[in-house]
Amino acid sequence: MDSTEVKARARALGFDLCGIAPAGDFPELNFFPQWLARGYAGEMAYLNRSAERRADVRNVLPSARSVIVTGTVYNTDRPYSTECDDPSRAQIARYAWGDDYHAVIEKRLDALLAWMREASAGPFDARRYVDTGPVQERVYAQHAGIGWIGKNTCVINPGIGSWLFLGEIICSLPLEPDRPSFDQCGACTLCIEACPTQAIVEPGVLDSTRCISYLTIELRGSVPEALRPAIGSHVYGCDVCQEVCPWNAAPPASADPVWQPRPAWDRRTTPDLAAMSDDELRRAMRGSAIRRTKVSGVRRNLSVALENLRALE
Ligand code: SF4
Ligand code: SF4
The per-residue pLDDT for range 23-61, each reduced to its tens digit, is 988 999 999 999 999 999 999 988 989 999 999 999 999
Of the residues 115, 141, 171, the one at which a domain ends: 171
The reply to whether 82 falls in a domain is no
* Ligand index nearest the alpha carbon of residue 227: 1
Half-sphere exposure of 14 (CA within 13 A, CB side): 18
Tell me if residue 168 falls in helix, strand or coil: strand
**127, 269: one domain:** no
**207, 238: one domain:** yes
**pLDDT at residue 132 greater than cutoff 90:** no
- CB-based contact 261:98 (threshold 8 Å): yes
* Ligand index nearest the alpha carbon of residue 152: 2
The reply to whether 181 falls in a domain is no
DSSP 82: G
DSSP 184: -
Q: What gap in Å lies between CA 293 and CA 301, rounded to an integer?
A: 10
Is the distance from the beta carbon of residue 246 to the nearest atom of ligand 2 less than 6 Å? Answer: yes
Report which protein residue has its CA nearest ligand 2's atom 7.
Answer: 185
Spatial CB neighbours of 90, under 8 Å, sequence gap ≥ 6: 233, 235, 265, 268, 269, 270, 272, 273, 302, 305
**23, 156: one domain:** yes
Half-sphere exposure of 243 (CA within 13 A, CB side): 20
Is the distance from the beta carbon of residue 162 to the nearest atom of ligand 2 less than 6 Å? Answer: no
Q: What gap in Å lies between CA 124 and CA 174, rounded to an integer?
A: 10
Range(s) of the domain holding residue 223: 190-312
**219, 302: one domain:** yes
295 C-alpha to ligand 2 centroid (Å)? 34
Number of domains within the chain: 2
**165, 252: one domain:** no
**Residue 206 Cα: closest atom of ligand 1:** 5
The reply to whether 194 falls in a domain is yes
**19, 62: one domain:** yes
**Residue-wise pLDDT tens digits, 78-115:** 999 999 999 999 999 999 999 999 999 999 999 999 99
Of the residues 108, 137, 171, the one at which a domain ends: 171
Active site (catalytic) residues: 131
**pLDDT at residue 313 greater than cutoff 90:** no
pLDDT at position 217 is 96
**150, 223: one domain:** no
